[in-house]
Structure 1
Amino acid sequence: MNRAASIRFGLVLFDLDGTLCRSEEDIILAWQETLDTLGLSCPRFRSLFRVGPSLQEMTDILFPGISRERKEEIIREFKFRYDNSPFPGTVPYEWADAMLAALKHAGRKLAVVTNKRQGPTRFLLKKFGWETQFDGSFSPDILPGKTLTKPELVSCALKQFDIAPEHIIMVGDTPGDIAAARKNRIPAAAVTWGYGSREELKQARPDLLLTPATWRKLLQ
């Protein structure tokens, strides 16, 4: 986990949920409203639900074998419920403001790479006062008519910034974030304060494993 220890990063790509903010309260509420509206039951919701997977992936996890038409109905309803939320329960981690400010002060470029769609992402960046901190934002719906995966979003970010891949790092809280970095051959950092367990993050073999006390390694 030390391949990136001596690299000076010019661009830091941040996942959003579980990396910069706590968001499960509002996501769970939108799921509950979706299931109530559509008359669906998911007895194992609490044990199956996770923050991090895309909406399509989470729908498959909660309702395996469901028809394509029903899946599309669930996704549409969730998008409506979640995207129109004021997000009262979504809050930044205590150290997020200091982390972003320190990186910007050090001359780093910052971008958000998230499975959250553009509307909620922009709303939250504005709510948290982070609009000026980020040089780019990449969500699954940035290209009309397509739904991009996390690896594809990282690829889009790499194309936008004229920075050598070895000087770009992806920071996230789940193995999916680490895998997206690996797919694009850039270093990856896993944060220990998010929704991925420390054990599964270690198994994903990130280049850096960050705690609230060690995130300043990103300034190297």
Structure 2
Amino acid sequence: MTVKVIIFDFDGTIADTHDALVEITNRLAGEFGYKPVGQDELEILKTLSSREIIKRSQIAAIKIPFLLRRVKTELGKKIRDLKPVTGMETALFCLKEQGYQLGIVTSNQKDNVCAFLENNNLESLFDFIYSGASLFGKHKVLEKILRQYNLQPDEVIYVGDETRDINAAKTSRVKAVAVGWGFNSPSILAQHQPDCLIYRPQELVRAIANCQTVDRKAL
């Protein structure tokens, strides 16, 4: 079945928010009772799954929703200064010109996403934005989109930079393209067996084309 819709994660996939998020989470460490991370620890965290990262941080589970809310609010104060991942703009425009519908599913706030897209002249590319997905609830949003737009799983590809993005795609039975330029390292992404793993935005258009013809079972 022909792919019609490409859905993207936002932070780390489209927007280069890595440094801003590290600075914010380190600044909030004392308030929420976890240790700030240095560069060495950060490199270790990149090789862990999303659930392993939370376990390693030893943040009390009851504090996580409040922490995420604060991080999103603080990120909103920086969003106007952030830029897309280098090469991502060209890839997005190319996919749009090829006739794909583009969407965003993110746990970030919609105001943050819209401000970023507007500031970088990307708002015209996206047909929908679903925000506020819980940390491990993106599959529910993907399934909602399938129902709302009367789409079959084979008609959708989800593009993300974390292991939880791959898992959400698999749970929703849509193809997963993992990008190696975001938070999680390519090694841990590969362990979670996405349909495709790419390392540069310049590879995205070809990866989408390959997903049109290669069945998941053949990979």
TM-score bracket relative to the smaller structure = 0.7 to 0.9
Q: Partners in 1 of 2:85 and 2:146 — Cα distance? A: 26
- Corresponding position of 1:154: 142
Equivalences for residues 189-200 of structure 1 within 5 A = 189-200=177-188
| Structure 1: unaligned runs, 5 residues or longer | 1-6
Per the alignment, do residues 58 and 125 of structure 1 end up closer, same or farther by CA in structure 2, a change over 3 Å counting? farther
Q: TM-score, normalised by structure 2?
A: 0.77
- Corresponding position of 2:216: none
Q: TM-score, normalised by structure 1?
A: 0.77
Letter in 1 for 2:15: C
- Corresponding position of 1:4: none
Letter in 1 for 2:157: I
Per the alignment, do residues 72 and 138 of structure 1 end up closer, same or farther by CA in structure 2, a change over 3 Å counting? closer
Q: 1:126, CA displacement in angstroms?
A: 1.5
Q: Partners in 2 of 1:189 and 1:147 — Cα distance? A: 19
- Corresponding position of 1:133: 125
Q: Partners in 1 of 2:14 and 2:65 — Cα distance? A: 29
Q: Which one is further off, 108-117 or 21-30?
A: 21-30
Per the alignment, do residues 44 and 98 of structure 1 end up closer, same or farther by CA in structure 2, a change over 3 Å counting? closer
SS in 2 for 1:190: strand
Per the alignment, do residues 119 and 63 of structure 1 end up closer, same or farther by CA in structure 2, a change over 3 Å counting? farther
Equivalences for residues 101-180 of structure 1 within 5 A = 101-140=93-132, 149-180=137-168
Q: 1:215, CA displacement in angstroms?
A: 1.7
Q: Partners in 2 of 1:11 and 1:163 — Cα distance? A: 9
- Corresponding position of 1:62: 57
Per-residue deviation, residues 20-72 of structure 1 (Å, max 9, x unmatched): 22211211232233346x3856154652666xx98x997765343x373x556
Q: Which one is further off, 20-29 or 146-155?
A: 146-155
Q: Which one is further off, 77-86 or 172-181?
A: 77-86
- Corresponding position of 2:26: 32
SS in 1 for 2:13: coil
Q: Partners in 1 of 2:73 and 2:159 — Cα distance? A: 29
Kept in 2: contact 1:166–1:186 (CA 8 A): yes
Letter in 2 for 1:91: K
Q: Which one is further off, 15-24 or 210-219?
A: 210-219
Q: Partners in 2 of 1:75 and 1:174 — Cα distance? A: 16
Q: Which one is further off, 16-25 or 174-183?
A: 16-25
Q: 1:110, CA displacement in angstroms?
A: 0.4
The answer to whether 1:181 aligns with 2:160 is no
CA RMSD after TM alignment: 3.1
Per-residue deviation, residues 184-205 of structure 1 (Å, max 9, x unmatched): 1111111222222222122111
- Corresponding position of 1:214: 203
Aligned length: 204
Q: Partners in 1 of 2:52 and 2:76 — Cα distance? A: 18
Q: 1:157, CA displacement in angstroms?
A: 2.3
Q: Percent identity?
A: 24
- Corresponding position of 1:42: 35
More helix by share: 2
Letter in 2 for 1:152: K
